[in-house]
Structure 1
């Protein structure tokens, strides 16, 4: 009862902040046709693209031969979900369900934050950080994907089995949530989490293969992706336009990409950097010696950051993923990623300046557009480097041992022999 009284004020504050900011996001969505808000470019994704795919999925098939369909089969389940609210239009139902999932994430982070040794900063970061993307989160399904990743991480400490199941479901919707299991401690916890994740993925894929035709059609569309204008490589090429590079921006595969000489080389360099990032994460895991309750959270944020900044595509909605993972990190008072979370917030705010507010200038390659992209991607790259360095230092033998005030949930129920990390 005393703990409830102590925490009731901050919890009410988070609730009030959520209600106020989500009302603002809805207002922005209603006024999406404003030129400053993208002139209808944001909500078009739902009522034109998602709605069209819904019609195909409702007839028992994935959108085969559609170059814009580049998502794992679990995405089909999310896009079919609005049929649960048949009294609303597809667009209205999609937004309502997105807000409901957003509220679920907020509740999960808040409940975690009120526990001993935890912090409500995570709930506040998610609640206050998401509106920095204006109304974009309400018109993309990345909130739903992020929710699965967040629930996976929050569940890991209590049940590796549940964490693995949520991680697998997230990966079936948009691949990257598979990375949230990277930081599970070696031994029984990892075997249980990854084992259940594998079993869940195989079972779910089997069900989807029975219910729908062409469940793996997305694989054939991924290879054609080029260099999106918002990626690090795209920023370099956009700046090269001012030095005489003859390339141009073109709408392809559902995004604005740069086409012209040397684009293939830039794409290959991005892929090489992704391989390097993966190698660094594997090296960290092999050499890590200290795991705390915050380690799985920190490793997840670091991994997704590294894969994001080395990607050929860094769409603004990718920031939803990073906000969710940063929020999970900051529920722990002993995370190594608090400065990184601050940089994620800065990059999120800059992303809104890029799209939708000044996207025309980015596409045209003006100095304003180039400098905005340079700032956003510079902050993201700095966050990725800082994240890995702090993760590495926290896991080394001379790292600081987690204080007793933050128990390692779930791990303390395992035999001491199982916790040996050497």
Structure 2
């Protein structure tokens, strides 16, 4: 990944566009933030106030340039995630598959993860979930801090088992988030300016709705693409309707997740992990924006799921890995085709977004089934040995044979 970043100006790697985001845009924001204000009138600033702290951090590293320090901190966050996954994988009932998945999956995005701050954001979510076994307070605090940086890490608290664990984690998240937000509000001007820019975003060409509109161009739709709000978006007839449908689907996904939580009856050790991946997948596929760096989030959450032998998300993780590889093909290698809406670009995005949609549906389906009925493996574990071994094993109920749920 570092080698690719060093050769960032090659045509197949985007002519320098990937790294430009750090040394031009992030560094510009750093200059504004270092003077005690958020970039209130910059339409590209669409991030919660916690993102300001992440973008300020490279400037505090003595010696290297801002770009070099940014990459170094991203690598440190990557190493922290890897170490946490490896440590979790050595515990009883766990596996090192999660650490292997993260280590092998991240380079599928080429050098992109080193030039975005999504690895740092993912670290908050991964550490929050892995801290759950030992400290629900730490779990809540880390999720809240991640939520202040990029919102979605707060979703990892959705799958916590009902009862004291949920109350403790959510209370910790509320207190930590309130204190951190208050500190940012006191320290910087215009901390909530991002809301205005976020609300004005349209349909990005790489989103599910964008794929539908790009295909519609081949059927006579008179729309085009335009760079606005930091992304290539589609403009023309029906775009606003597509954006509204996307927001409606996001609301429906949230309602569906709440319904799952109300109706769930059984939590395994992996349920909080599986629910986090399912929630973020649903919010990703219904979003008006599906940038390639979003795949970093899904890789991290899928890796956490794979640390547990109880997870239901193994096939989902496989789909995420394939979709990640396709994302790297679409950007930066064939991004011009995606923007122009050629058949090559359309088919690439149709395959990538189709895989993500299938992964989201499969993830929620497997989560729903696993939590509606007590897992077969746990039933076998709880039964006396005489009932599941020797000659009497054949007499076990059908639900205890075959599919392990």
Normalised TM-score (structure 2): 0.93
**Offset of residue 400 of structure 1:** 3.2
| Partner-residue secondary structure (3-state), 2:159 | coil
Other-structure match for 1:206: 182
Partner of residue 17, structure 2: 41
The residue that corresponds to 2:65 in the other structure is 89
- CA shift, 1:196, in A, is 0.4
Tell me if structure 2 keeps the 8 A contact 1:46–1:91: yes
Q: Verify: 1:112 aligned to 2:77, yes or no.
A: no
Q: State the partner residue of 1:238.
A: 214
Cα distance 1:160–1:282, how it changes in 2: closer, same or farther (>3 A)? same
For residue 173 of structure 2, what is the aligned residue in structure 1?
Answer: 197
- Residues 115-144 of structure 1: CA deviation (Å, up to 9, x unaligned): 111000000000000000000000000000
On the 8 A contact 1:116/1:405 being kept in 2, the answer is no
* 2:159–2:273 CA contact under 8 A, matched in 1: yes
| Corresponding position: 1:71 with 2:59 | no
Deviation (angstroms), 1:405: 8.1
Of 307, 313, 316, the residue aligned with 1:340 is 316
Alignment match, 2:3: 27
Q: Verify: 1:304 aligned to 2:284, yes or no.
A: no
Give the secondary structure class of the aligned counterpart of 2:8: coil
1:43 is paired with a residue whose SS is helix
* 1:350-369 mapped onto 2 (5 Å cutoff): 350-369=326-345
Q: Secondary structure at the match of 2:233?
A: strand
The 8 Å contact of residues 290 and 401 in structure 1, kept in 2 or not, is answered as no
Shift of 1:83: 2.2
> How far did residue 244 of structure 1 move?
0.6
Tell me the secondary structure at the aligned position of residue 256 of structure 1. Answer: strand
Cα distance in 1, alignment partners of residues 108 and 79 from structure 2: 17
Give the TM-score, by structure 1 length: 0.89
SS in 2 for 1:270: helix
CA distance in 1, matches of 2:201, 2:279: 22
Query: Structure 2: which 5+ residue stretches go unaligned?
Result: 383-405
CA 1:94 to 1:405, structure 2 compared with 1: closer, same or farther past 3 Å?
Answer: farther
Contact preservation (8 Å) 1:393, 1:399: no
Q: What are the residue-to-residue correspondences of 1:368-383 with 2, within 5 Å?
A: 368-383=344-359
**Contact in 2 for aligned 1:394/1:400 (Cα 8 Å):** no
- What's the counterpart of residue 397 of structure 1? 373
TM alignment of 1:107-256, pairs within 5 A: 107-256=83-232
- Matched position secondary structure for 2:226: strand
2:293 maps to 1:317: yes
Is the partner of 2:332 in helix, strand or coil? helix
Partner of 2:302: 326
**Which residue does the alignment assign to 1:274?**
250
Aligned match of 1:285 = 261
1:75-127 deviations in Å (ceiling 9; x for gaps): 00000111232200000000000001100000000000011110000000000
Deviation digits for residues 237-275 of structure 1 (CA, Å, limit 9, x no counterpart): 000000010000110100000000000010011111111
SS of structure 2 residue aligned to 1:161: helix
Q: Does 1:103 align with 2:103?
A: no
* Structure 1 gaps, min length 5: 1-24, 407-422
